[in-house]
Structures are given as structure tokens and as C-alpha cells.
Amino acid sequence: MAMNLRLRDDQAEALKQRAEQEGTSMNAIVVKAVDDYLARTAQQALVRETALKQAAKWRELMDRLK
């Protein structure tokens, strides 16, 4: 899928320089950044969901221990 990405001039220049330093394309860096973001937020969502389930499971006990 193609899309447009609007970067500030300083972001575009920094991305271009980093791509040159790493010997890769700007696109490859952006795709990796998106993959990293999706993996990180998926993990955060899983942790949040698990924490909420455990909090509900143990709520009565925690209330009694206050």
C-alpha cells in the first residue's frame, strides 16, 4: 500500500542522513519504525488487559486488606 508521509524539513533531513549512514533507504527506516511501534503498543495493550483482569479477579481480597 502506498501512502504519503509528511515530515518537517528537519525530520526529512535527519532521516535522509540516517539512511545514508546505515546504508539503507528512508522507506526501510520508516517501515521498521512502524513495525516497532505496532509491536510495542500491542504488548502494552496485552499488559493493560491482563492487569485489568487480574485487578477485577482480586478486587474483593484487596478491598478486605485495606
State the pLDDT confidence band at 27, using cuts at 50, 70 and 90.
very high
Q: What is the pLDDT of residue 61?
A: 84
Determine the Cα–Cα distance for residues 47 and 51; give it in Å rounded to an integer: 6
pLDDT above 90 for 24: yes
Q: What is the pLDDT of residue 25?
A: 97
| Interatomic CA distance for residues 5 and 29, integer angstroms | 13
Domains of the chain, by residue range, sit at 32-65
Instruction: Evaluate whether 29 touches 22 at the Cβ level (below 8 Å).
Output: yes
Average of per-residue pLDDT across 56-61? 87
pLDDT value at residue 42: 87
Whether residue 46 has pLDDT greater than 90 = no
Q: How many angstroms separate the CA atoms of 14 and 44, rounded?
A: 28
Cα 40 from Cα 14, distance rounded (Å): 23
Residue 22 has pLDDT above 90, yes or no: yes
